[in-house]
Chains A and B, each alone.
Chain A
């Protein structure tokens, strides 16, 4: 069965520092890959997505993610975080063209001043 693992429940970084949030998936085929962000009291919002091609994809607000087929991973990165990036980040995958999503458990990002 397909699954998504986000091994870090919480990540704390200082404002201005770089960030990596980890995501690993289990699938017999390369899925469609997504990162969503959930700000407090708001709905989930798409940050970026990957289907094929260049393994590094750019998203909104300076986020990018890198797909690795050999590692079955899709890690999210940002060069310099801002306090407004404080949120919960979810990795999700879809195995079919119906785009039914399988979600990770989320990583809460805490920004230290």
Chain B
């Protein structure tokens, strides 16, 4: 069974540029999470979905960040105008609703210059 896949693995941007991250969860997993993990810190939840619905996006900086999961499978996280403070690894995880274990992808490492 394939795990959670993410692309790209790395991204380097100038401030003000836009970037999109893509996540393909484990097949059949209805819950999908996006986390931001700054260097030497733990993950911080940005948003999570159950199927195509956003369940909690309270930690998503909505003025520049957006996330969608239109068919309840793959998901895209977009940063409209990146800032140096966005430098971090962006993690995607998936799980089955009601199950406690989240399965993580390898992450996308973003560097904003």
B35-93 at interface with A (beta carbon < 8 Å)? 40-45, 48, 55-56, 91, 93
84-112 of chain A: CB within 8 A of chain B: 90, 92, 94, 97-101, 103-106
Say yes or no: A100 contacts B45, CB within 8 Å. yes
The CA of A32 and the CA of B101, in the complex, are separated in Å by 11
Say if the beta carbon of A17 comes within 8 Å of chain B. no
A49-B101, A98-B55 known; A43 vs B40 contact (CB < 8 Å):
no
A46, A49, A97: the one contacting B98 at CB < 8 Å is: A97
What's the least CB distance linking B2 to chain A, in Å? 13
A41 touches B55 (CB 8 A): no
Q: Which of B93, B95, B101, B102 has the most CB of A within 10 A?
A: B102
Q: What's the interface size class on A, roughly? A: 20 to 34
Do A105 and B42 form a contact, CB below 8 Å, given A99-B95, A100-B56? yes
Partner of B102, one of A99, A104, A105, A106: A99
A90 contacts across to B, CB distance below 8 A: 42-43
Which of A42, A49, A100, A104 sits near B48, CB closer than 8 Å? Answer: A100
Q: Is B4 an interface residue (CB 8 A)?
A: yes
* Chain B count of residues within 8 A CB distance of the other chain: 24
**How many residue pairs at the A-B interface have CB separations less than 8 Å?**
52
Task: Name the distance in Å between B113's Cβ and chain A's nearest Cβ.
Answer: 22
Shortest C-beta distance, A1 to chain B (Å), equals: 13
Instruction: Given the known inter-chain contacts A43-B4, A44-B91, A98-B55, please indicate yes or no for A103 contacting B44, CB distance below 8 A.
Output: yes
Taking Cβ atoms with an 8 Å cutoff, the residues of B that contact A are 3-4, 40-45, 48, 55-56, 91, 93, 95, 98-107
Q: List 28 A-B contacts (CB under 8 A).
A: A4-B42, A32-B100, A34-B100, A41-B106, A43-B3, A43-B93, A43-B104, A43-B106, A44-B91, A44-B104, A45-B104, A46-B101, A46-B102, A49-B101, A90-B42, A90-B43, A94-B100, A99-B100, A99-B102, A100-B48, A100-B56, A101-B43, A101-B102, A103-B43, A105-B41, A106-B40, A106-B41, A106-B42
Question: Which residues of A pack against B, CB within 8 Å?
Answer: 4, 9, 32, 34, 41-46, 49, 51, 90, 92, 94, 97-101, 103-106
